[in-house]
Structure 1
Amino acid sequence: MTVLALTGSPLWYAGRAGGTMSLVLLTATVVLGIASGGRSAPRRIGRFELGLLHRDLSLLTLVFLVVHVVTMVLDPFVHLGWAVTVVPFGASYRPLWLGLGTIAFDLLLAVLVTSAVRVRLGVRRWKAVHHLAYAAWPFALFHGVATGTDTRGPVQLWIYAVCLAAVVSAVWWRLAKAGPGRVPGRLVGAAAATAVPVALTAFLAAGPLQPGWAHRAAAAALLSGGGR
């Protein structure tokens, strides 16, 4: 069978759709968390309603993420195995970029588990773990860009661009609304909001947007025995 036929399986498309939806929902969750925090919180919407919306978006993100993970493991092309869903950098198919997705998944699982024991854990510790969701977003973004065989497609590129613009805009909005103090945190936020777009643009130009990027990775998986 050809590489195109293998990557065109229903499980592959279901996995890509689940991954894209989970990224979009994670983006919405992160944007809501950033833009509604601190002094930038909307005045006309109660924090309780914002909290419920944030929770529901988080749960939907996990639902589509599970769909993405399960269908990718079951897809016969790369033979990922269940271990790579929680242990990063162990796959034969694009180990670095799949590993970033695994890290994002692990971070979100940590947020889910600690949320279930929030009362016992304490608010301060729970918030510290909860902030890992923000770290999961860039890992998920680079994972999707680097592993998706449809990254060069206009629709997928627009999705990535909108997700990136939404989070970066939310960060700058939060920084603009922030009061005095917490200079180190503001500097970190400004640096991240600058570095991520630059790094992603450079990576796209040097990697996924180059002709044959997806086919070379698929061929490497076939040669290593990761795909059939």
Structure 2
Amino acid sequence: MTALAVTGSPLWYASRASGTLAVLLLTTTVVLGIASGNRSVPRRMGRFEIGLLHRNLALLTSAFLAVHVVTAVFDPFTSLGWTVAVVPFVAFYRPLWLGLGAAGLDLLLAVLITSVLRQHLGARRWKAVHWFTYAVWPLALFHGVGSGTDIQLPLQLWLYAGCLGTVVGAVWWRLVRAGPGRVSVRIVAAVVTTAVPVVLTMLLATGPLQFR
């Protein structure tokens, strides 16, 4: 166990805990979104119930994300400031990993704002922006594994591994059960889904897991 994991401030603990919960909830939201788009969803649950659950999980994710950002900004150990939270790659502390988190936050804010304005934007424009949710998830995962030294804790590492395996499994399940058409979209999804765990493993081996 790292020294920081033992001696971190209460704000650090709150930031890491809320960040981890946000990643877990975002993973569940993404998996539910992937599964609900398939015709093989459970018949006992109607589309209204699935849509309501999906929306509530998204709101809960946003709430924990807000706690994560606020506690990280006010944590005296990092002294990040609000600019770092919303402008990618300007931090002096782990700029890559914090920049990925800021980029994910910006995309999620775009999704949330357009969801509020959905009736004014129209379903087509809203859906186009809503696709950014699938980009938010890998950004959040990479940010989580690279921005905190608690990634060296076995439980934390297994939690992120579980999130990764769940989303990858859901995507491949969707690809296998997909009907004909949109071959290019399926190829891109397959390539990206395969690349994410490979790149993440390489970065972990050469970066965060080497910190002491």
Runs of 4+ in 1 over 6 A off after TM superposition: none
Contact 2:4 2:149 in 1 (8 A): no
Aligned residue runs from structure 1 range 52-91, under 5 A? 52-91=52-91
Contact 1:16 1:68 in 2 (8 A): yes
Change (3 A) 1:21 1:15: same
State the match for 2:92 in structure 1. 92
- The aligned amino acid for 1:82 is W
- Between the aligned partners of 1:211 and 1:108, the Cα distance in structure 2 is 29
Measured after TM superposition, the shift of residue 6 of structure 1 is 9.8
CA deviation digits over 1:47-90, x for unaligned, max 9?
A: 10000000000000000000000000000112101111111111
State the match for 2:8 in structure 1. 8
- Between the aligned partners of 1:131 and 1:49, the Cα distance in structure 2 is 21
CA-based RMSD: 1.5
State the match for 2:18 in structure 1. 18
- Between the aligned partners of 1:4 and 1:12, the Cα distance in structure 2 is 9
- What is the number of residues matched between the two proteins? 210
Q: Percent identity?
A: 68
- Between the aligned partners of 1:7 and 1:191, the Cα distance in structure 2 is 41
State the match for 2:130 in structure 1. 130
2:208 counterpart SS class: coil
Contact 1:34 1:171 in 2 (8 A): yes
Q: What TM-score results when the alignment is normalised by the length of structure 1?
A: 0.89
State the match for 2:166 in structure 1. 166
Contact 2:98 2:143 in 1 (8 A): yes
Contact 1:6 1:77 in 2 (8 A): no
1:109 counterpart SS class: helix
- Between the aligned partners of 2:194 and 2:49, the Cα distance in structure 1 is 31
Q: Which shows bigger deviation, 200-209 or 98-107?
A: 200-209
Change (3 A) 1:165 1:194: same
